[in-house]
Structure 1
């Protein structure tokens, strides 16, 4: 899982600005998920992944958990990790958590993960693993743990490499005959770090992108490139242990990229509208791909709409795990549809219903129809923010096809394919994975702070033509509106709690920790 990766920042979508050959090789070898939807921010997205429920069903719908806030994913919710653990899997989280840290009980090894190496909060510096909450006068605290112990062993090392090394080591040492493995490699990349130095990358990675003039974007390209290398290393490790044949490998981002504004990293969600923390497609559509020898249509683009909350029941089904109906999941089991490649499941998705002032908003979809009412940040990020930079092209793109075929990912996955993948037309798959947005004639604008907006996403994936005036009194729109109202009436109240200054790392040896369980060393408690 990438963090804040733009929809157009994997080159299998067609951009040649900078290339992601390993991710692309995984995508072309497997199934490109052209319509994978996530919530628009980190905490809601991760809660939906691990519970199989909409954030409105668990109280995780409003914004994110800020490091100084004493709340988390409710303890009565069962996580995907707990389910796999209870069914005999060894479960490991490497990297970001962001589902609560004020109490030990909120943290990964108390929520179904046998092991965790990584950080508990929103983000950290890529080298010193500290987090500075600039909105408050807290000290800059270290946030990196090996299970429940603060770990300083890797300070000075690049965190993408730390997590990749840990994944490779885990795979190399894992006893496959004793237990199957559930691994969630939850990268920091390419999320911005602290405000004083947000974009960071190793010099040897940066040197590949000297053709990019904008310094921030050059760093971003290098951050994504290092992430891409991580994908290659994990696939290679699985192949070396002969674990690939019986593995399911999924790549995705937790939400759209922030092109501008808070924690901006120069990500591009081209050609989609909006960005992270908005209800538009650019905030909630993830570039994703999945691979398994179980799939009958390897080397295809799957257009079925799928929600991140569907992954829990879908992956459990793939693993032969039966789920208790009393869990009341919002996610659907789409394993058969994915396995056989059919695209006929009409999926409703509650993207967001957030009634909290000052920016109440909702986004809901059923089939091809999408409703947006209200928006975030007073609408300042509601436009089309990404663009294809054509004058700065990765030199490797001249031999793109051969670059993909030369990756270890392509070669290892080819060995397990039923038919030789050399026959596969990479250019054709790349074209199929692109989202095309012709400008509609007589397009009607959308002003969600004034009235609802209604889109046909199949025809208009870039949300250019608002159909609300045309459909507002039809049964199509009114039925959807009634369904939204039903969800809103039954929504779990947000779990958010105000900041607690007792969290300040200065009280706990300059560590971000579960402060509600800790005895402060100097007067916080």
Structure 2
């Protein structure tokens, strides 16, 4: 793949095509009984718990992912894209455009197990990209794993967050054994409510729901969020490889099935004749399940151990591929910096809109990069934080630490920041991609300059991470008792 230094003819053609879309469609819209789209569709695909070492276009030597590889070959591959280290923080950051230290979701939290009114749609600080895209006349849909509301408490949570349609695994609801199923016989919430889909395989239900939505709205502008249930444990043998026995064999079968789902959606876009105006983004929410239960795979001659929940590059530097024939340059490898905070403003810019006045976000749009209009993003650094489990207190959900550990990096250097808000490690990722050599005490001028840069970022951060914003409500029968410290039946929002 070519580095993105000079815009070649194909890049220029893609950019010109995007600029001409409005004119072309406007002219054709004059024809009677023909509704034409002037905005690109967005399909955001996010696999659960999968590092680069399991994607062959990123150098995996232990598996082939042909459908994901095709997106990379005919699109743009990012080398420096950050997710968060765990599920919840990646999702809330993606939806809000805010870092976990700002939106409060600095720890992992399985909402349905506790019954808390998590991620309250009423809070303006929790505005989602879906709500903003609806304001731009997009039809919105989500399918897969939501995780950040309890549908028993908020049965219309998805609608309130801006989604017109959805098919979401509910999460494992305390007191409801059926809800533990996300794969075989999945328990799924739709606008009609929650139920078990007996005899079905969850990933097929989620992808079929998206295809049905796309078929219905192919003449509309669509923004679709597909947070896959795959390949998170509990590991199962996929329908294509029912004889997979060991945990590793089952994991591999699930990775292949995730790749199959990507191919299935791409074929549907082709069949609906909307492939060339649908910007597809493929990524993952964090690295592969960690070393305590995890898997190792060879990547570019190096054995990589799964690092979910960790701040190493294997845990947070996610695969990130963007593809749209004619709009996104083909065969490009980009070192531009980006992280999940950038997605909300990127979607809004792609949809032709502007951010609401007064909305505070941490991200910056990368739309000019993925459309080939600019060679680099506006980001001078990116950040990842939000690992470990949250805790329930008499005041509600709280992060595990006052100031959570985090990492900050640019294209060359990476700083590790402790819970004491001190930089403890500095690595030159170009020379030391596996982060073995700590340059913190180096006397080299370039290392001191890097430290000064990252220290300025650290100094700009608050000393205490925010807490989640949600509405206080009465206790539920399944709520956790907090060492009998709860003084009332209501969770206080303090």
Q: State if a TM-score over 0.5 links the two structures.
A: yes
SS in 2 for 1:277: coil
* CA displacement at 1:144 relative to structure 2: 1.8
| Among candidates 197, 212, 215, match of residue 169 of structure 1 | 212
Matched, 1:204 2:204: no
Higher share in strand: 2
Q: Identify if the C-alpha distance between structure 1 residues 181 and 108 changes in structure 2 by more than 3 Å, giving closer, same or farther.
A: same
Counting only pairs closer than 5 Å after superposition, residues 4-23 of structure 1 correspond to structure 2 as: 4-23=49-68
Aligned to 2:281: 250
| Among candidates 83, 93, 99, match of residue 38 of structure 1 | 83
Between 338-347 and 457-466, report the one with greater CA deviation. 338-347
Find the aligned partners of 1:363 and 1:45 in 2 and give their Cα distance. Answer: 14
SS in 2 for 1:329: coil
Matched, 1:327 2:301: no
Deviations 1:320-350 (A, max 9, x none): 1111241121011121122225136443223
Deviations 1:120-177 (A, max 9, x none): 33699xxx96329xxxxxxxx984211251122x22311111112222222223241x
Q: Identify if the C-alpha distance between structure 1 residues 259 and 281 changes in structure 2 by more than 3 Å, giving closer, same or farther.
A: same
Find the aligned partners of 1:476 and 1:113 in 2 and give their Cα distance. Answer: 42
Q: Identify if the C-alpha distance between structure 1 residues 7 and 71 changes in structure 2 by more than 3 Å, giving closer, same or farther.
A: farther
8 Å contact from structure 2 (residues 286, 308) kept in 1: yes
* CA displacement at 1:60 relative to structure 2: 0.7
Find the aligned partners of 1:259 and 1:60 in 2 and give their Cα distance. Answer: 21
- Number of paired residues? 409
Find the aligned partners of 2:409 and 2:79 in 1 and give their Cα distance. Answer: 16
Aligned to 1:382: none
* CA displacement at 1:73 relative to structure 2: 2.1
> TM-score, normalization: structure 1?
0.70
Q: Identify if the C-alpha distance between structure 1 residues 202 and 280 changes in structure 2 by more than 3 Å, giving closer, same or farther.
A: closer
Aligned to 2:484: none
Aligned to 1:349: 382
SS in 2 for 1:260: coil
| Among candidates 238, 254, 260, match of residue 269 of structure 2 | 238
Find the aligned partners of 2:386 and 2:228 in 1 and give their Cα distance. Answer: 27
Q: Identify if the C-alpha distance between structure 1 residues 237 and 148 changes in structure 2 by more than 3 Å, giving closer, same or farther.
A: same
Q: Cα RMSD (Å) of the superposition? A: 3.5
Find the aligned partners of 2:311 and 2:471 in 1 and give their Cα distance. Answer: 23
Matched, 1:114 2:173: no
| Among candidates 86, 103, 107, match of residue 58 of structure 1 | 103
Matched, 1:81 2:110: no
Q: Identify if the C-alpha distance between structure 1 residues 284 and 31 changes in structure 2 by more than 3 Å, giving closer, same or farther.
A: same
Q: Identify if the C-alpha distance between structure 1 residues 243 and 31 changes in structure 2 by more than 3 Å, giving closer, same or farther.
A: same
Aligned to 1:190: 231
Find the aligned partners of 2:156 and 2:87 in 1 and give their Cα distance. Answer: 16
8 Å contact from structure 1 (residues 50, 312) kept in 2: yes
Find the aligned partners of 2:217 and 2:156 in 1 and give their Cα distance. Answer: 26
| Among candidates 400, 413, 422, match of residue 369 of structure 1 | 413
Find the aligned partners of 2:186 and 2:240 in 1 and give their Cα distance. Answer: 26
Q: Identify if the C-alpha distance between structure 1 residues 53 and 105 changes in structure 2 by more than 3 Å, giving closer, same or farther.
A: farther
* CA displacement at 1:479 relative to structure 2: 4.2
Find the aligned partners of 1:27 and 1:112 in 2 and give their Cα distance. Answer: 30
* CA displacement at 1:460 relative to structure 2: 2.2
8 Å contact from structure 1 (residues 31, 299) kept in 2: yes
Aligned to 1:219: 250
Instruction: Could you tell me which runs of 5 or more consecutive residues in structure 2 were left unpaired when the two chains were aligned.
Output: 1-45, 388-398, 480-488
8 Å contact from structure 1 (residues 100, 106) kept in 2: no
Instruction: Could you tell me which runs of 5 or more consecutive residues in structure 1 were left unpaired when the two chains were aligned.
Output: 133-140, 193-197, 376-447, 506-514, 517-525
Aligned to 2:41: none
Aligned to 1:521: none
* CA displacement at 1:24 relative to structure 2: 0.8
Find the aligned partners of 2:438 and 2:470 in 1 and give their Cα distance. Answer: 33
Aligned to 2:463: 489
8 Å contact from structure 2 (residues 339, 383) kept in 1: no
